[in-house]
Amino acid sequence: MLKVSNAQAVHKNEYSGAHVSKPIKVLVVDDHHLVRAGMVRMLSDEDDLDVVGEAESGEEALQLTQELKPDVVLMDVRMPGIGGLEATRKILRLGMATRVIVLTACSDMPYPQRMLDVGASGFITKDSHITEVMQAIRLVHTGKRYISQAVAQEMALGPESSESPFDKLTERELQIALMVIDGIKTADIATRLCVSPKTVNTYRYRLFDKLGIKSNMDLALVAVKFGLITPDENRVARDE
């Protein structure tokens, strides 16, 4: 494996023969090492798929996309730093041909709709079979969309089916809400998003108002209640 920045880049042997089509270059993005390693191993067994790299955060995903120019990025949603939502937006704004497929355990609304709204070409869950992941990669690479059946059914039912207060939040408010839940302090959020701490607090109290809550702890409890996170993902910091 070749070390690229803070993430590992994986290279397969080049194919021989004039009639072998160029493999699809894939970048795997997930903050859990075991998930990345398992996905890399399974995808690397396919002759038409070439896993060119791994990233453990949205920031690394953006950097490696620029360096490695993958055809498809498999993107998790909940990660340290800017997260999958903002990383997807930034990657697609690069003007490259790269397409993004969301591969996540976060299948509840509003995640699917928000990720598709920023330009993701696919959304599949981590409990999907590996053959479905491969099918999604190949389909998206041709310019089509792929949404797993369970997620598509939930989206088809409309917003009334979820009744989540998080649907009221803007993309930036949702991003900051997730970072607060991850226990990231205001100053660090500001640094990562290139805004002032005052701006972060403005968003924070605005989303508090929309959700009808008064504290970071309230935010975490509401997030657990509506399935935005699981109880063990609650790393909320004390109110600042």
Q: Across residues 157-178, what is the average pLDDT?
A: 74
Q: Identify the structural domains of the chain with CATH numbers, from first to last.
A: 2-156 (3.40.50.2300), 165-233 (1.10.10.10)
pTM of the model: 0.68
> Is the pLDDT score of 29 beyond 90?
yes
What pLDDT digit, counting tens, does each position of 57-82 carry? 999 999 999 999 999 999 998 887 78
> Is the pLDDT score of 230 beyond 70?
no
**Confidence label for 125 from pLDDT (cuts 50, 70 and 90):** confident
Q: What percent of the chain has pLDDT over 70?
A: 80
Predicted local confidence at residue 152, as pLDDT: 76
Predicted local confidence at residue 121, as pLDDT: 94
> Is the pLDDT score of 12 beyond 80?
no
Q: What is the DSSP string of the chain?
A: -EEETTEEE--PPPP-STTSPPPEEEEEE-S-HHHHHHHHHHHHTSTTEEEEEEESSHHHHHHHHHHH--SEEEE-SS-STTHHHHHHHHHHTTTSS-EEEEEES--STTHHHHHHHTT-SEEEETTS-HHHHHHHHHHHHTT--EE-HHHHHHHHT-GGGT--GGGGS-HHHHHHHHHHHTT--HHHHHHHHTS-HHHHHHHHHHHHHHHT--SHHHHHHHHHHTTSS-GGG--PPPP-
